[in-house]
């Protein structure tokens, strides 16, 4: 009986594909369970830049389970079961930022490890965005374009205001590597 209750608890939650060391899916499980058990899975992150090469960062909604109220990359999500990374990019930009783009560019992949939350991360970039961004308030409380210098100051002086993911990307040089 306890197993049934446990499974019912997760029945309505978002599911993700669990992947092996080659990033090949072998199971579909609730996202919360995958995160709690530190299982490898996929995520997509999008970096949006304006013509002045400033990066748009989102401030996570205070109701988010992980890192509420902290600044993060422009947009991020887990691909839906069977969804390509590129389709996940289009979906997350539309649902979180109300932003429609034509051709996001693949930027980088990061292998699953403790620093990525055991996520195989695929990073895409949108360069020279001139479209207005209107954050979905259910997901994002606000957003702002930061220069390299402004973000460097935040990293050095106010790291607690940023997600570990954003700090990791900055430290590895991926954010302004274009």
CA distances from residue 15 to 61, 127, 170 in whole angstroms, order as listed? 21, 31, 29
Average pLDDT score over the chain = 89
Which helix or strand (DSSP H or E) is residue 77 part of?
strand 75-77
Tell me, what's the pLDDT at 176?
A: 77
For residue 172, give the 3-state DSSP assignment: coil
Q: Determine phi and psi for 22, rounding to 5 degrees.
A: -95, 10
Tell me, what's the pLDDT at 1?
A: 37
pTM: 0.88
The three state secondary structure string of 81-96 is CCCCHHHHHHHHHHHH
Domains and CATH numbers, the chain: 2-171 (3.90.79.10)
Q: Are 19 and 96 in contact (CB under 8 A)?
A: no
Distance between alpha carbon 105 and the CA centroid of its chain, in Å?
16
Q: Name the band, by pLDDT with cuts 50, 70 and 90, for residue 6.
A: very low
Tell me, what's the pLDDT at 113?
A: 87
CA distances from residue 150 to 57, 65, 154, 156, 164 in whole angstroms, order as listed? 12, 27, 6, 10, 17
């Amino acid at each position: 009986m306890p197993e049934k209750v446990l499974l019912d608890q997760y029945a309505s939650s978002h599911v993700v594909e669990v992947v092996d060391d080659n990033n090949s899916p072998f199971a579909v499980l609730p996202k919360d369970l995958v995160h709690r058990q530190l299982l490898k899975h996929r995520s997509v992150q999008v970096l949006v830049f304006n013509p002045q090469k400033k990066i748009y960062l989102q401030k996570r909604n205070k109701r988010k389970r992980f890192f509420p109220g902290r600044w993060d990359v422009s947009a991020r999500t887990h691909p839906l079961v069977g969804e390509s990374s590129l389709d996940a990019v289009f979906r997350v930009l539309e649902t979180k930022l109300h932003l429609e783009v034509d051709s996001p560019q693949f930027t980088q992949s990061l292998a699953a490890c403790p620093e990525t939350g055991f996520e195989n991360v695929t990073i895409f970039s949108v360069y020279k965005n001139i479209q207005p961004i209107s954050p979905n308030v259910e997901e994002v409380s606000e957003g702002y374009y930061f220069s390299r210098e402004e973000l460097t100051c935040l990293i050095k002086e106010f790291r607690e205001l940023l997600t570990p993911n954003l700090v990791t990307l900055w430290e590895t040089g991926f954010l302004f590597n274009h």
